[in-house]
Amino acid sequence: MHEDKPGRPKKHLGQHFLQDPEIISRIIRTADVNKEDVIVEIGPGRGALTFRLAEMASEVIAIEIDHSIVESLNERAASYPNLSIVEADALRFHYHEIGTRFKVVANLPYYISTPILFRLIELSDMVTSMTIMLQKEVAKRVVAAPNSKDYGILSIAVQFYAVPEIAFNISRKSFYPEPKVDSSVLKIVPREKVAVDVRNEGLFWGLIKSAFYYRRKTLLNSLALSGHSKEIIKNVLEFAGIDQNKRPEQVSMEEWGKIADTLMEFMLSQQKRMKF
């Protein structure tokens, strides 16, 4: 059957193969690949980027879930002793077994791009940088600042742990088959420490998720649906110096930290009063 032929794009895997050599060169320059680098490539596809990386890096580990593509790449990889083709799911791969820090270069399938992005961000002790291709609209959300329609949980989640920037955009015409949307190349560098020190990260993320779930509501009304009374939320916002009529997308990461820490103080003071 045609579906099993290596190199034939599989729709259910979201395969769109990059085929523009100039774009590939720009990706390598953006990733700043050198002879000292260990590179993890996710979704090598036909290998257009893979073998260029192998020529420039110390070691390349290409993770591919498609068995037929793995077989095809392994045939060509024989002359590249520094290249390993690994048949695995990138979401479940044990990255710590690599045993050293590495750079990630990836053309992420659109349908699982966000879960893989979060998985990689969790590996900040291993990953020195990520140069990844994402759907353009997703990339805009990743780098978005407050007071924009693209700003949301994804923006805060990435920027809390890393510094993202859009390196350049890629036309859909650079891929085969041509997807319905354009892409962007993101360069993401993990932070040495989180962007905002908060006392309780669980509370911090819980408030953000609750607020953006009701993003059309004011802060007062959306956070009052997070399990805390409206009176407490009103007092917290007033004490933190944040306008209760703001919408969630108008609140900076630093302000979210202030809200979470102030609420934590209120909760602790309530617990102390209950003891007496």
Phi-psi label, residue 227: left if phi above 0, alpha if psi -120 to 50, beta otherwise:
left
Question: Tell me: the pLDDT tens digits for 157-175?
Answer: 999 999 999 999 998 887 7
Q: How confident is the model at residue 273 (pLDDT cuts 50, 70, 90)?
A: low
| 4 pLDDT more than 60 | no
Domain end, chosen from 164, 190, 216, is at: 190
Cα–Cα distance for residue pair 64/14, rounded to 1 Å: 13
Sequence-ordered alpha helix ranges (H) in the chain: 21-31, 50-56, 67-77, 113-121, 136-143, 153-161, 201-213, 219-223, 230-240, 253-275
Q: What was the pLDDT predicted at 197?
A: 96
The pLDDT-based confidence of 19 (bands split at 50, 70, 90) is: confident
Q: How far apart are CA 14 and CA 115, in angstroms?
A: 14
**Predicted confidence (pLDDT) at residue 193 exceeds the cutoff of 90:** yes
* Cβ neighbours of 270 (radius 10 Å): 10
Whether 173 and 232 map to the same domain: the answer is no
Pair 142, 231 in one domain: no
Percent of the chain with pLDDT over 70: 90
Looking at residue 2, what is its pLDDT?
33
Same domain for 150 and 59, yes or no, is: yes
Tell me: pLDDT of 178 over 70. no
Residue 20 confidence (pLDDT)? 85
Examine the domain organization and report whether 229 and 111 are in the same domain: no
- 55 found inside a domain: yes
Residues 210 and 96 in one domain: no
d(CA 11, CA 241): 50
For residues 76 and 97, the answer to whether their CB atoms sit within 8 Å is no
CATH of the domain at 226: 1.10.8.100
Q: Is residue 231 part of a domain?
A: yes
User: What does the pLDDT read at residue 272?
Assistant: 65
Residues 38 and 128 in one domain: yes
State whether 126 and 255 are in the same domain.
no
- How many domains would you assign to the chain? 2
pLDDT value at residue 179? 67
What mean pLDDT is predicted for residues 201-213? 95
Beta strands in 77-177 (DSSP E): 83-87, 102-107, 127-135, 162-170, 175-176
pTM: 0.88
Average the pLDDT over each of 12-16, 47-51, 205-209, 264-268 and give the range with the smallest value: 12-16
Higher pLDDT, 245 or 68: 245
pLDDT at 257 over 80: yes
Please write the tens of the pLDDT for every residue from 81-110: 999 999 999 999 999 999 999 999 988 877
Residue 196 lies in a domain: no
Which of 167, 176, 178, 98 has its CA nearest to residue 139? Answer: 167
What pLDDT does 3 receive?
37
The answer to whether residue 195 sits within a structural domain is no
Is the pLDDT at 142 greater than 90? The verdict is: yes
Gyration radius (Cα) of the chain, Å: 22
Find the CATH number of the domain harbouring 102.
3.40.50.150
Q: Which pLDDT belongs to residue 176? A: 61
- 152 and 79 in one domain? yes
Q: Are residues 246 and 132 in the same domain?
A: no
pLDDT at 8 over 80: no
- Average pLDDT across the chain, whole number: 89
User: What are the backbone dihedrals phi and psi of residue 199, each rounded to the nearest 5 degrees, phi first?
Assistant: -75, -35
Residues 175 and 266 in one domain: no
Of 61-75, 146-160, 168-182, 248-262, the poorest mean pLDDT is in 168-182
Instruction: With respect to residue 61, please indicate whether it lies within any of the assigned structural domains.
Output: yes
Q: Are residues 43 and 111 in the same domain?
A: yes
Q: Is 90 exceeded by the pLDDT of residue 5?
A: no
Domain boundary among 137, 167, 190: 190
Grade residue 269 by pLDDT with cuts at 50, 70 and 90: confident
Residue tagged 């479940």 (tokens) = 92
Domain of residue 252 covers 201-275
Residue-wise pLDDT tens digits, 24-62 = 999 999 999 999 999 999 989 888 899 999 999 999 999
